[in-house]
Amino acid sequence: MSKPIARPNDATRLARLLNPQSVAVIGASDDPLRIGGRPISYMLSQGYKGKIYPVNPNRSTVQGLTSYPSVAALPETPDVAIVIVPASLALESVTALAERGTSAAILFSSGFAETGPEGAAAERQLVAVAHAHGMRLIGPNSLGLINPRTHFYGSFATGVELGFPTPGHVAIISQSGAYGAHLMAVATANDIGLSALVMTGNEADLTVGDILQMMVDDPETHVIAMYSEGIKQAPVLIAALEAARRARKPVIMMKVGRSVIGSAAAQSHTASIAGDDKVTDAVLAELGVVRVDSTEQLLDIARLATRGVFPANNTLGVMTVSGGAGVIISDAAQAVGLPMPEMPEASQARLLKLLPFAAPRNPVDVTAQYLNEMSLVSTFTEALIEEGGYTSILGFFTYTGGAASIAPRLREQLKIVRAKHPECIFVLSILASREQIRQYEQDGFTVYEDPGRAVVAIEAMGRFGRAFAMPTRLPAPVIPVVILPQHTPSEAQAKKLLSTAGIASAPETVVTTAQDAIAAASELGYPVVLKIVSPDILHKSEIGGVLLNVSDQAGVQEGFDLLMERGRNAAPHARLDGVLVAKQLRGGVECILGIHRDPVFGPIAMFGLGGIFVEVLQDVVLHRCPFGEDVAEKMIRSIRGAPLLLGARGRQPVDIAALAQMLSRLSAFAVSAGPRLQSIDLNPVFAMPEGEGAYAVDAVLELSDD
């Protein structure tokens, strides 16, 4: 396998890529409708102020501009180049540009990794040449980059014929060219201003993570919307997402391709439960990303996020002129977990004095009476904010908000409250003309036709707020360097290895004779557990290789012989190392702790309750490794079955601190062990009563041979 090429790290080059002062178009066409002509045509029509250098050896002019026969003939080194030549000529163009000192190139050219191994090899050659001179590449097979603020159109996207995007503060990053252009067209049709559109293509060099970091560094980008089909260079993406959170720049991602690792191919509980998509959900949530399932949600949330209000403790107060709409909004809020507390009783009483037939609880229904007393709008909305304490306000005024006889007066009343409370989120659900909606939005309100869509967007602002307010986390524990054995270890060997990281197991010993088993049981104290020990039999219960509640010497003698017999019969070629005799723990709650190596994000930790909770209900939580005890405790407390650990219905609470320490140490162990570690199952782990610790009763480590 070839050694990966070092990636240049030059923020200045990426800034030039987004805001070039000069651009060369290699393979330029005089026909504005051809792929080689569209970027030039778009830039000329929209007033791009930089210099455009067409390169076409067969023409002296292209679309009224001087054309040059080669890159070497250009009068200056362009900041950026757009390469629109066949795959067979792309290397020549990239080499000439890189040697000339161009900062970045956008490769429209196709016929590379998407075509097979030969194309992939040619693609790697492009990157090697570019990186040798510090040049960065978008693509190949990319639909390009657009910056509406500078009118730089490094793209041949025909969607602009429906309307060129307006400058704004939302950046769209898409791995799909056609879908990225679709998102641009939908955003433009809905008056969402864009700071950039980047379509990454094959990502031979720059990935979505690199482009995300470019947008984090761009002062004009306030919100980032992403479309992703697969993640390359996960560490780069993770670092950029962490940078976005620190910069308080919301990231909304439509990650498509929801697949699950087949249970038939999985050797552990963790692997079968922690499917690809669940891992992606967990990692994105950890990093403060709001993941969505549709274009509508992606752009709805992006539009509201441009207001820049992100309450960590988000609550919704509703003003409505329809009781039915109030019910719809309440249902939608409950579905997404957006709190809608009632108004204080004193406030309800006061509002009823003003309007005896109002419904003042929340939603607050002012009824059609507001048509006669328009001041009720500002009075009731003011009460929602100042007395109800809601951080987000949703007003449902339906078609009355667009009626010529009502809209001007309604706007005036709403503006009174909006001016007093810039710290609040203000959203309206109205039906009106596009021009009227623009007026409401200029007043500071975000408008949605459907109130359910508004609720989804409002809830997302709270998620951003909580992510931005997240305190500094504790560091992961420092553990000794993990040296894995050559082959998958037995249970006893696995527990010994884990003990180096401070992961405790029940008192136990491995014996090779029945007499030694009896002696060990007497020393540990009855009852004991007997288990077959073999590195070739990882799932012992499937062959009857575990005996519980062995309570006397006769039981130990019989059990030892039975286990050895079962081991020989079930796996004639297995190595039998003996029998493990362990103290049987009582009084704890069974949990499962696990590690699964995700192909994208690396080791992922899992926690859940044992038994039916993991087998049937799959009540588990996942987190990227490593992490400290604070994150581990948050994971433990987040599962649905957490009350069973915390002392529900008179139960004694378990030792949460010991359980969190074990989970945190397991996460550090997984990282230290390296890529040969495929999975760990600690199942069950007994979480003992508070102050008595947590102990792994069984342990399975699976290693890859390579």
C-alpha 422/C-alpha 433 separation (Å) is 25
SS3 359: strand
Question: What are the distances in angstroms from CA 381 to CA 20, 266, 389, 431?
Answer: 47, 55, 11, 20
Q: Are 62 and 54 in contact (CB under 8 A)?
A: yes
Q: Where are the beta strands (DSSP E) in 239-385?
A: 251-255, 290-291, 316-320, 364-365
**Number of domains the chain is built from:** 5
Q: What is the pLDDT of residue 5?
A: 53
C-alpha 225/C-alpha 481 separation (Å) is 40
Q: Are 485 and 493 in contact (CB under 8 A)?
A: yes
Report, as an integer, the average pLDDT of 56-85. 97
pLDDT for residue 266 is more than 50: no
pLDDT for residue 36 is more than 60: yes
Q: Are residues 459 and 355 in the same domain?
A: yes
Q: What is the pLDDT of residue 1?
A: 38
Q: What is the pairing mode between strands 364-365 and 316-320?
A: parallel
Q: What is the CATH number of the domain that holds 683?
A: 3.30.470.20
Report, as an integer, the average pLDDT of 675-682. 95
Token pair, residue 343, equals 């108004």
- Within 10 A of 651 (CB to CB), how many other CB atoms are there? 13
Token pair, residue 380, equals 């009731």
Q: Are residues 361 and 296 in the same domain?
A: no
Reported as a single tens digit per residue, the pLDDT across 448-475 is 999 999 999 999 999 999 999 999 999 9
Give the CA angle between residues 389, 391, 394 to the nearest 5°: 105
> What is the pLDDT of the chain when averaged over all its residues?
92
Q: What is the pLDDT of residue 277?
A: 85
Lowest mean pLDDT among 230-234, 645-649, 682-686: 645-649
Q: What is the CATH number of the domain that holds 533?
A: 3.30.1490.20
Domain end marker among 249, 272, 306? 306
Q: Are residues 183 and 116 in the same domain?
A: no
- Residue 166: partners with Cβ closer than 8 Å, 6 or more residues away: 148, 188, 191, 193, 194
pLDDT for residue 269 is more than 60: no
Question: Binning pLDDT at 50, 70 and 90, where does residue 259 land?
Answer: low
Question: Binning pLDDT at 50, 70 and 90, where does residue 390 land?
Answer: very high
Question: Binning pLDDT at 50, 70 and 90, where does residue 7 land?
Answer: low
Q: Are residues 34 and 137 in the same domain?
A: yes
C-alpha 247/C-alpha 240 separation (Å) is 10
Q: Are 391 and 424 in contact (CB under 8 A)?
A: yes
Report, as an integer, the average pLDDT of 624-647. 95
Position 497 in a domain = no
pLDDT for residue 40 is more than 50: yes
Q: What is the pLDDT of residue 616?
A: 73
Question: What are the distances in angstroms from CA 425 to CA 18, 136, 392, 421, 693?
Answer: 31, 40, 5, 9, 46
Dihedral (C-alpha) 20, 22, 28, 32: value to the nearest 10 degrees? 70
Q: Are 26 and 35 in contact (CB under 8 A)?
A: no
What DSSP line would sit under 499-525, residue for residue?
HTTT--B-SEEEESSHHHHHHHHHHH-
Question: Binning pLDDT at 50, 70 and 90, where does residue 256 land?
Answer: confident
Token pair, residue 300, equals 């709805």
Q: Are 174 and 199 in contact (CB under 8 A)?
A: yes
Question: Binning pLDDT at 50, 70 and 90, where does residue 262 land?
Answer: very low
Position 160 in a domain = no
Position 349 in a domain = yes
Q: Are residues 324 and 450 in the same domain?
A: yes
Report, as an integer, the average pLDDT of 255-261. 67
pLDDT for residue 415 is more than 80: yes
Position 183 in a domain = yes
C-alpha 256/C-alpha 465 separation (Å) is 25
Position 641 in a domain = yes
Q: How many angstroms separate the most distant Cα atoms in the chain?
A: 100
Position 476 in a domain = no
Percent of the chain exceeding pLDDT 90 equals 84
Reported as a single tens digit per residue, the pLDDT across 553-589 is 999 999 999 999 999 998 888 889 999 999 999 889 9
Q: Are residues 204 and 132 in the same domain?
A: no
What DSSP line would sit under 428-485, residue for residue?
EEE---HHHHHHHHHTT-EEESSHHHHHHHHHHHHHHHHHHTPPPPPPPPP-PPP---
Domain end marker among 271, 306, 341? 306
Position 479 in a domain = no
Q: What is the CATH number of the domain that holds 106?
A: 3.40.50.720
Reported as a single tens digit per residue, the pLDDT across 499-525 is 999 999 989 999 999 999 999 999 999
Q: Are residues 442 and 517 in the same domain?
A: no
SS3 569: helix
Q: Are residues 298 and 335 in the same domain?
A: no
Q: Are residues 8 and 126 in the same domain?
A: yes
Question: What are the distances in angstroms from CA 664 to CA 268, 310, 397, 423?
Answer: 20, 30, 51, 38
Lowest mean pLDDT among 378-387, 480-489, 534-543, 693-702: 534-543
Position 495 in a domain = no
How far the first Cα of the chain sits from its last, in Å, is: 13
Question: Binning pLDDT at 50, 70 and 90, where does residue 8 land?
Answer: low
- Within 10 A of 521 (CB to CB), how many other CB atoms are there? 28
- Within 10 A of 414 (CB to CB), how many other CB atoms are there? 24
594 pairs with which residues across the strands? 606, 681
Q: Are residues 323 and 464 in the same domain?
A: yes
Q: Are residues 546 and 575 in the same domain?
A: yes
pLDDT for residue 267 is more than 60: no
Q: What is the pLDDT of residue 160?
A: 96
Q: Are residues 406 and 511 in the same domain?
A: no
pLDDT for residue 195 is more than 80: yes
Report, as an integer, the average pLDDT of 643-661. 91
C-alpha 172/C-alpha 184 separation (Å) is 8
Domain end marker among 583, 602, 629? 583
Report, as an integer, the average pLDDT of 144-170. 97
Q: What is the pLDDT of residue 18?
A: 97
Q: What is the CATH number of the domain that holds 389?
A: 3.40.50.261
For residue 562, count CB atoms less than 10 angstroms from its CB and return exposed for 0-12, middle for 13-18, buried for 19 or more: middle
pLDDT for residue 178 is more than 50: yes
Q: Which residues constitute the domain of residue 111? A: 1-141
Q: What is the pLDDT of residue 613?
A: 72
pLDDT for residue 186 is more than 80: yes
pLDDT for residue 623 is more than 70: yes
Report, as an integer, the average pLDDT of 607-613. 83
Question: Binning pLDDT at 50, 70 and 90, where does residue 604 land?
Answer: very high
pLDDT for residue 273 is more than 50: no
C-alpha 443/C-alpha 427 separation (Å) is 11
pLDDT for residue 114 is more than 90: no
Q: For the whole model, what pTM was predicted?
A: 0.91
C-alpha 445/C-alpha 439 separation (Å) is 9
C-alpha 621/C-alpha 635 separation (Å) is 6
Question: Binning pLDDT at 50, 70 and 90, where does residue 193 land?
Answer: very high
Q: Are 98 and 133 in contact (CB under 8 A)?
A: yes
